[in-house]
Chains A and B, each alone.
Chain A
Amino acid sequence: MYRIIEKEVFSESVIKLVIEAPEISRSRKPGHFVILRIDDKGERIPLTIAGADEKKGTINLIIQRVGVTSCKLTDLNAGDFIKDVAGPLGKATHIEKAGTVLCAGGGVGVAPLLPIVEGFKKAGNRIVTVIAARSKELIILEEQMRQNSDDVIIMTDDGSYGNKGLVTHGMEEVIKREKVDLSVVIGPAVMMKFATLLTKKYNIPTVASLNTIMVDGTGMCGACRCTVAGKTRFVCVDGPEFDGHLVDFDEMLQRLGAYKEKELEAYQEYLRNRS
């Protein structure tokens, strides 16, 4: 059992949980994820670690309410327990001194981006971060990003905060303005698809962190498989980060929809039971 130490509500749909998991908090590195299961009847879901406090033995998870499990999870409060948390899983981000690193996060993808930004900053890079979301209340971790970046650009689809436009607009502005040596993009699959198309146009090496469907998260089931450079790879053990220019995002988008109907059905059932 893993205790929730703290809960912070960023917005109606984005919530941060601080969870007691001492061993994971000590072993985790930027890019790692955990698999968790809320209770005996829960499903196993992957969540990228958004930070950790080694001294307190905690890890931070930032969750968007999109379906049954994410809603049940974010309905929990400080003091409640999560049945299973396993990790840290996946390969850690390859952090190096590259020069200028353009870090772009879309929506809740900003959360797993934060430790990567911190890592690249510590390695002596110049960091330009683009945070994007649909609207102002969905912009998260701005303060923490500012602390670890040389420059931060905020983009909202509706212009309610920062600049109006998509993440790619913000990224292109930076690329046109200065030499970018490396880019890291994390967000919804469709955002990563277009972000990597952009950086490909400018020949900027780009890392994308994929968030596919998983069951075990340890290389056993292949639910998370995706095509990278024409080869089938497992996101859980070969990733989650890949060369963004080689990922088949269309296939990934299709695979993410594998259980869409069942998920929707379950979500409506969940909402009915709540009301």
Chain B
Amino acid sequence: MNEIKDYLKEERNQPWRVELRKSIKSKDRIDRLRVHMPEADPTIRNKNFNEVNKGLDPEQAVFEAGRCLDCANPTCIDGCPVEINIPKFIKQIEAGDFNGAAATLKETNSLPAVCGRVCPQEKQCEATCFYSISLKKDPIAIGHLERFAADYERNSGNVSVPVVDKSNRIKIAIIGSGPAGLACAGDMAKLGYHVTVFEALHELGGVLKYGIPEFRLPNKIVDLEIDILKKMGVNFRKNFIIGKTLTFDNLREQGFKAFFVGSGAGNPTFMNIPGENYNNIFSSNEYLTRVNLMNAADIEYDTPVISGKNVAVIGGGNTAMDSVRTAKRLGADRAIIIYRRSMEEMPARVEEVKHALEEEIEFMNLHNPVEYFADEKGRVNKMRIQKMKLGEPDSSGRRRPIPIENSEFNIEIDTVILGVGVSPNPLIPGVMPDLKISKWGTIEVNPETMQSSVEDIFAGGDIVRGGATVILALGDGRLAAAGMHKYISEKVKVN
């Protein structure tokens, strides 16, 4: 820990940083107001799938970076799961070295353009920013700046490809091409391993592709990150389901020395209430997959999607927000969030809720569905919902929702989307009986090395955490790469 602190201090004492700190008085920095992210007009954007946030221009980015005080004790870093050297990249932006800022981000975060867009910064780095904790002012827009640096580098056409060690010809397999797998693949490739990523779907990127909509994270950004890995020599095999197309043993016979399982939390939760299997009731996963992965909203594509007029989306997380905003874009007159707690407990990113409200999404908080009804063709046409109140905090620390008796009433809807959570994908645990699995279906690992109970299998991301964030998955992937490298270096004899 002290080594890291010393390193940060050393970096901070570099002449350019010292000079930059002196160039503007702290008081003047503090007086600046937080930059406002330019956004598409809500009444126009809620009818298309273009990205909502337009990104900062260089002038805005430099000005915002100038708010950062370059603290001696940068508490922002404590809030970052992958401990990005935040003050350094921000000061590089202030100094106009945008590509340098991108390089700093990439030291610890392989997907900065993604994380700048989807990380819950208000709960992480921005929550622990000096402005938030001591000045009680709006924190530095760390997320916006991260995105700015990554986008700037990408648009400059000079995306740097990380240096890869000489090949050690050791084959390792990554299962799943989502954020955890991509991070692990990147680090292992850098170390000279022969990396193959196996993906079950026909597209690479996992939840970044099938889950997060285009208006929040354009697919081309994910593809570019994947292209970099390809340039680093990583192989990708799509339509390949480990445990089905080939087993772990088949791959061991083919010479693979270790595995990283990043198969995600793709198993949708249903609520098991009456009428839930009526038509036009979907999991968020199904609805978003149809639209995001299969392009169902585009008439040119064969996959259909139901574009309801009165759409209820159950849940208060990012997936629910993505679903409800997608429904609005597909032409819903009413797109309603039905959430059993209040706005305050909502797990979604603050920005997503703000955007949803601007896009005329209705919120029925403190409500919960209890039953669905259908027309003669089996299509849902009504739902019964119950009012809720909040009790004492539960194990998650959020106040527990309690049903209010005799408060049920019906509302008319023609489409329901369930965004009430996901659980770990059961496929890999199902085909690997030796793998130690928790009662929640997650793979149990040593948290320091991400090694599972089967010594050549490592795991990370949602298959271990059960439904977390992109940045935590990236952190796991990197940790697992270090664990795997150590395991192979110590245990595996290479022929």
| Contact A215:B286 (CB < 8 A) given known A41-B295, A44-B294, A263-B304 | yes
The proximity string for B residues 279-304 relative to A, scoring 1 for CB distances below 8 Å and 0 otherwise, is 11011011001100011000011111
CB-nearest residue of chain B to A40: B301
| Contact A254:B241 (CB < 8 A) given known A41-B301, A225-B270 | no
The proximity string for B residues 376-395 relative to A, scoring 1 for CB distances below 8 Å and 0 otherwise, is 01100000000000000000
Number of A-B pairs, beta carbon distance below 8 Å: 118
Of residues 219 through 263 on chain B, the ones whose CB sits less than 8 Å from some CB of chain A are 238-241, 244-247
A43:B303 contact, CB within 8 angstroms: yes
B301:A87 contact, CB within 8 angstroms: no
B244:A88 contact, CB within 8 angstroms: yes
CB-nearest residue of chain B to A227: B277
Q: Does A223 contact B (CB under 8 A)?
A: yes
The proximity string for A residues 247-267 relative to B, scoring 1 for CB distances below 8 Å and 0 otherwise, is 000010011011100110010
Q: Which residues of B contact A259 (CB under 8 A)?
A: 304, 306
- Distance of A69 Cα from B241 Cα, bound (Å): 23
- Distance of A251 Cα from B276 Cα, bound (Å): 11
Q: Does A219 contact B (CB under 8 A)?
A: yes
* Size class of the B contact interface (CB-based, 8 Å): 35 or more
A225:B277 contact, CB within 8 angstroms: yes
B277:A218 contact, CB within 8 angstroms: no
Q: Does A243 contact B (CB under 8 A)?
A: no
Q: Does B427 contact A (CB under 8 A)?
A: yes
* Size class of the A contact interface (CB-based, 8 Å): 35 or more
- Distance of A219 Cα from B306 Cα, bound (Å): 21
A107 to chain B, nearest CB (A): 23
Q: Does A83 contact B (CB under 8 A)?
A: yes
Chain B contact residues: helix, strand, loop or mixed: loop
Q: Which residues of B contact A37 (CB under 8 A)?
A: 202
A218:B289 contact, CB within 8 angstroms: no
Q: Does B266 contact A (CB under 8 A)?
A: yes
Q: Does A221 contact B (CB under 8 A)?
A: yes
- Distance of A85 Cα from B303 Cα, bound (Å): 16
Q: Does A84 contact B (CB under 8 A)?
A: yes
- Which of A83, A89, A215, A223 lies at the interface centre, i.e. has the most chain B CB atoms within 10 A of its CB? A215
- Distance of A259 Cα from B246 Cα, bound (Å): 34
- Distance of A237 Cα from B303 Cα, bound (Å): 21
Q: Does A220 contact B (CB under 8 A)?
A: yes
| Contact A266:B302 (CB < 8 A) given known A225-B277, A227-B277, A232-B270 | yes
Q: Which residues of A contact B270 (CB under 8 A)?
A: 222, 225, 232
A215:B289 contact, CB within 8 angstroms: yes
B203 to chain A, nearest CB (A): 9
B283:A68 contact, CB within 8 angstroms: no
CB-nearest residue of chain A to B263: A218
Q: Does A147 contact B (CB under 8 A)?
A: no
The proximity string for B residues 395-432 relative to A, scoring 1 for CB distances below 8 Å and 0 otherwise, is 00000000000000000000000000000011100100
A257:B279 contact, CB within 8 angstroms: yes
Other-chain contact of B427, A43, A218, A263 (Cβ < 8 Å) = A218
Q: Which residues of A contact B244 (CB under 8 A)?
A: 27, 87-89
CB-nearest residue of chain A to B283: A222
| Contact A226:B277 (CB < 8 A) given known A43-B302, A86-B200 | yes
B378:A257 contact, CB within 8 angstroms: yes
B277:A251 contact, CB within 8 angstroms: yes
B276:A216 contact, CB within 8 angstroms: no
* CB pairs A–B below 8 angstroms (7 shown): A27-B245, A69-B302, A86-B239, A215-B290, A221-B289, A222-B270, A254-B378
Query: Which positions in B face A, CB cutoff 8 Å?
Result: 200-202, 210, 238-241, 244-247, 266-268, 270, 272, 276-280, 282-283, 285-286, 289-290, 294-295, 300-304, 306, 377-378, 425-427, 430
Q: Which 7 A-B pairs have the closest CB atoms?
A: A221-B286, A254-B378, A220-B266, A86-B239, A43-B303, A84-B202, A262-B304
Knowing that A216-B289, A232-B276, A237-B426 are A-B contacts, what are 5 other residue pairs whose CB atoms are under 8 Å apart, sorted by A's residue number? Answer: A27-B244, A44-B303, A86-B241, A223-B282, A223-B286
